[in-house]
Structure 1
């Protein structure tokens, strides 16, 4: 068929392919079409390989189209595998042409036309953070000193009901000085009450799109979002997460969607036990990490007594940028804000309480002849105090920090007692320094 004889196609129209059979065109860009095929596959095909569906068969009868479509086999003539021919590019032809600008949903973190994985343990806030980025893009506002690509967004959430998203989006909008009215470009698909699988393996292990996935593809054909979020992989991926082939096919399906719709795709995922222990945040097979161009990890600070509202967003993989970056975040009133490193009011109150408790218990110890010191051992003050009922539940770490601050300020003093051959340290309150013991 010559160029002039090639049929024209439009999004939403049905077509036929000699190898894969019938399907529906999701989008067309630069001569290539994203197609949702009747067999459950989602593929990108050169437009020159598409034909109008046979007129003698009903275009709505998917089952009939599947059974009657010619399939490729080793004995099939080459004409039925047209799109298997390679297309070679001579880079010299690019000479003098403008270099295509790389597009980002969030610069250096979330590339367009690719899949980005955001890992995070349950309850750490990965859903809230991603929801905030998606809402900011829909409201065309900056968030966390990031500038998401302004445009429509689709959030597919499999873990929470609509009521929970209502509360979260209201808090997010308020934190940006907006209202829910400003989220007119946002679409939410809550799936907590239904089967949320997007892809399932057939008997041979090949991943195929479910009817739900095909509905989502159809919707994005018309909605044209700049961002699609899938939350989370555990609910949406129906294959075996440790089988590389199935994982790569699933990520490939999402990448086809990202390219066909010209948007960014974010997939949320829980880290494996090993991923948590190693600090990489990875999950299951290495194919999850290897199949994407960007992977982020939201985690808490490692210190046991760290501020419970603190989070750290780490760049674990960035094919188009630099890895190893960290952004410190803080949960505040239902949304995340940047952490400025300054003590928060709650931390200040906790520190003041620890200092008061340390001084009260130290005075009690000295009055009852229980010597304690700043040296780790059997008489280590923070350790002995933490076990005392008067410590009001303060941890050894909090009391140790309070001790150091009080020593630095002079409110607590270190005195040496005993004969010169066996002197010992003892802590006392400066206000109770009555001189050497008689």
Structure 2
């Protein structure tokens, strides 16, 4: 949190204003209930910008220069006709406009209005403005002739009568408003949109009225951004409908302002009337004659062949299976470039958007992952972004029978996804506000996520709930277990499905890919005090050759682990470390090089179940507990090794000079004492050896 922001909040409060937290680089309130005011301490938890609300005696003339409307020109014309405005508290805005603060006479009622004249809005009781020291896209708001830290508020002038008259003119009749709202063109598309929006607000059920107003206003604001509707007139129509539905003015104003800002950033040109101009082609030709001389780039993936870039993938499972935890594990693995379940990742920036579980729950899961994988949270800064969307989860909504449209939350997600290589959305049931059995709406929602994927060449992974009974029956293999329309799995370019079998194991299957062959089934154990990991009963090549070849390879691995231990080097039990067993041992001549890392992990777990190896906890140079493999006496006998090790292997690094310390980010040990899990007595390291223990306690 920026300390100066909290200081500004306290100064504004001392000057008689009501501060509220605003999202960073935004004009949207950071929390609900802002109309009742917030304390300066609230800024320690919310927002990166600051806004001000006003009491009943003040209002702001908001002069904008954007979207083709120049409020400065409008104001200049008014002053030329009626006289100059009196000197009063004024601020400059990032758009080149102004916020001009006035007092109004007692008894005069002013509401919040947008577009009263080109580029002129009014912010009164129930509305707000963004204020100094807020910034937007590198530009800032700042006061003229006032420094809030002085505490001396400039004189706020009374509004001249001509201005009060201009901004409080009675609205035309509703019929005239409806006609002008469509800009006089009244094409069928915009007329239906206005009618549907009004009807949706009027018919909204209690508890859903504000959400319906937000969706309706956002859709109309997008049309206004395209120049197809007059937003001021739309605002009037929606306000009347919202009041009739039972919403309070303060809530109406805030919702319309937020929806307007988001809608203006996403103009809607769909269904525009024919202008006589040549339209963009709906079917684009694809070149075929140069596929050999000018080949297209091959598909890229962020995790094996599970998650292709540029498209949407689907991970389905019924509630309580653990898909959110596994998705967060994937996010951390990709953000750090580590393997997950023995499968390589491509390191990139990750955006994890949780719309089902709040931030505290996600942080708890992340804490477990960092502890289990020995990751310092600071390593994730700049690589992993987690957002809590539980307060306003819908990314897509519908009105009446249309295909639906994206929401302000989607617009925010779209902006935050810029530069990400992986975007995880948890989950579909919270973010999709349409009819889950309506194929047209489902496909429109999936296409909206696809736009984010394509714009960033990112893999977008959408988590989805699956019907529990059908998933147990195995129907989900054909998409039948997905709740609602088959368009969910048909629209995904890669599809994963997870279920817990009767033994308690998790089965993660790769059901579909449009980019080659599907991966084999992954079997996962989930220890009570740990994280999901590859189980011993892993299907695939290891299971197929679990006879003599597997026995020989297991003996080779045991011999290597024993050799490393006798040299004072550790082979970690972690499968996600950048120095895991497969990588650490791979350079040795006797390593089974035909094995993939996942196969090696399976052999080691089978060896553990056979009591050939065991897990030993030790203290690393950073004094954190670590875990390594140790070959037991039974394992040494199986591998044909001597019953006891020749040298001591239990080593503890107790001190290290600052000059020799070179942190190995994977294991927390240091190069002067431990390199990639290796321990040696070097300058600056104090090494103690313990006598060798028998019965599998060596090293």
TM-score normalised according to structure 2 size: 0.38
The answer to whether the aligner puts 1:199 opposite 2:396 as a matched pair is: yes
Q: Which residue of 2 aligns with 1:288?
A: 488
How far apart are residue 279 of structure 1 and its match?
A: 3.8
Q: Matched residues in 2 for 1:251 and 1:127: separation?
A: 20
Deviations 1:7-46 (A, max 9, x none): xxxxx8xxxxxx999xxxxxxxxxxxxxxxx74899xxxx
1:40–1:209 contact (8 Å) kept in structure 2: no
Secondary structure class of the residue paired with 1:335: coil
Q: Matched residues in 2 for 1:41 and 1:277: separation?
A: 46
How far apart are residue 283 of structure 1 and its match?
A: 2.6
How far apart are residue 269 of structure 1 and its match?
A: 0.5
The answer to whether the aligner puts 1:269 opposite 2:467 as a matched pair is: no
2:262–2:408 contact (8 Å) kept in structure 1: no
How far apart are residue 73 of structure 1 and its match?
A: 4.7
Q: Which residue of 1 aligns with 2:534?
A: 338
1:41–1:209 contact (8 Å) kept in structure 2: no
Q: Which residue of 1 aligns with 2:423?
A: 228
Relative to structure 1, is the Cα distance of residues 347 and 170 closer, same or farther in structure 2, using a 3 angstrom cutoff?
Answer: farther
What are the residue-to-residue correspondences of 1:130-149 with 2, within 5 Å? 130-149=327-346
Q: Matched residues in 2 for 1:63 and 1:126: separation?
A: 31
Q: Matched residues in 2 for 1:115 and 1:248: separation?
A: 12
1:275–1:283 contact (8 Å) kept in structure 2: no
How far apart are residue 257 of structure 1 and its match?
A: 0.9
Deviations 1:279-319 (A, max 9, x none): 41433211111111111011112x3xx1x3x2110111112
How far apart are residue 166 of structure 1 and its match?
A: 1.6
How far apart are residue 203 of structure 1 and its match?
A: 2.8
Q: Which residue of 2 aligns with 1:256?
A: 451
Q: After superposing the two structures, state which structure 1 stretch, 278-287 or 262-271, moved more.
A: 278-287
Q: Structure 1 stretches of 5 or more lacking a match? A: 1-11, 13-18, 22-37, 43-51, 349-438
Deviations 1:170-222 (A, max 9, x none): 22122222121121111111233x1301000133322211111111112223x
Q: Which residue of 1 aligns with 2:520?
A: 325
Relative to structure 1, is the Cα distance of residues 72 and 231 closer, same or farther in structure 2, using a 3 angstrom cutoff?
Answer: closer
Q: Matched residues in 2 for 1:134 and 1:62: separation?
A: 31
The answer to whether the aligner puts 1:311 opposite 2:311 as a matched pair is: no
1:199–1:207 contact (8 Å) kept in structure 2: yes
2:263–2:408 contact (8 Å) kept in structure 1: no
1:41–1:208 contact (8 Å) kept in structure 2: no
Q: After superposing the two structures, state which structure 1 stretch, 332-341 or 132-141, moved more.
A: 332-341
Q: Which residue of 2 aligns with 1:244?
A: 439
Relative to structure 1, is the Cα distance of residues 347 and 215 closer, same or farther in structure 2, using a 3 angstrom cutoff?
Answer: farther
What are the residue-to-residue correspondences of 1:12-161 with 2, within 5 Å? 39=219, 72-73=271-272, 76-79=274-277, 82-84=279-281, 86-161=283-358
2:221–2:264 contact (8 Å) kept in structure 1: no
Q: Which residue of 2 aligns with 1:413?
A: none
Q: Matched residues in 1 for 2:221 and 2:449: separation?
A: 11
C-alpha root-mean-square deviation of aligned residues, in Å? 3.6
Relative to structure 1, is the Cα distance of residues 204 and 231 closer, same or farther in structure 2, using a 3 angstrom cutoff?
Answer: same
Relative to structure 1, is the Cα distance of residues 40 and 283 closer, same or farther in structure 2, using a 3 angstrom cutoff?
Answer: farther
Count of equivalent residues: 293
Q: Which residue of 1 aligns with 2:591?
A: none
Q: Which residue of 1 aligns with 2:369?
A: 172
How far apart are residue 83 of structure 1 and its match?
A: 1.9
Relative to structure 1, is the Cα distance of residues 141 and 63 closer, same or farther in structure 2, using a 3 angstrom cutoff?
Answer: closer
Q: Which residue of 2 aligns with 1:186?
A: 384
Relative to structure 1, is the Cα distance of residues 160 and 90 closer, same or farther in structure 2, using a 3 angstrom cutoff?
Answer: closer
Q: Matched residues in 2 for 1:259 and 1:315: separation?
A: 22
Q: Which residue of 2 aligns with 1:360?
A: none
TM-score normalised according to structure 1 size: 0.59
Q: Which residue of 2 aligns with 1:33?
A: none
1:168–1:334 contact (8 Å) kept in structure 2: no
How far apart are residue 164 of structure 1 and its match?
A: 1.6
Q: Matched residues in 1 for 2:302 and 2:270: separation?
A: 39
How far apart are residue 245 of structure 1 and its match?
A: 0.6
2:494–2:513 contact (8 Å) kept in structure 1: yes
Q: Matched residues in 2 for 1:69 and 1:336: separation?
A: 44
Q: Matched residues in 2 for 1:110 and 1:178: separation?
A: 23
Relative to structure 1, is the Cα distance of residues 40 and 148 closer, same or farther in structure 2, using a 3 angstrom cutoff?
Answer: farther
Q: After superposing the two structures, state which structure 1 stretch, 331-340 or 176-185, moved more.
A: 331-340
Q: Which residue of 2 aligns with 1:429?
A: none
Q: Which has the higher contact order (CA 8 A, sep 6+)?
A: 1
Q: Matched residues in 2 for 1:41 and 1:288: separation?
A: 29
Q: Structure 2 stretches of 5 or more lacking a match? A: 1-136, 138-186, 191-217, 232-257, 538-604, 612-699
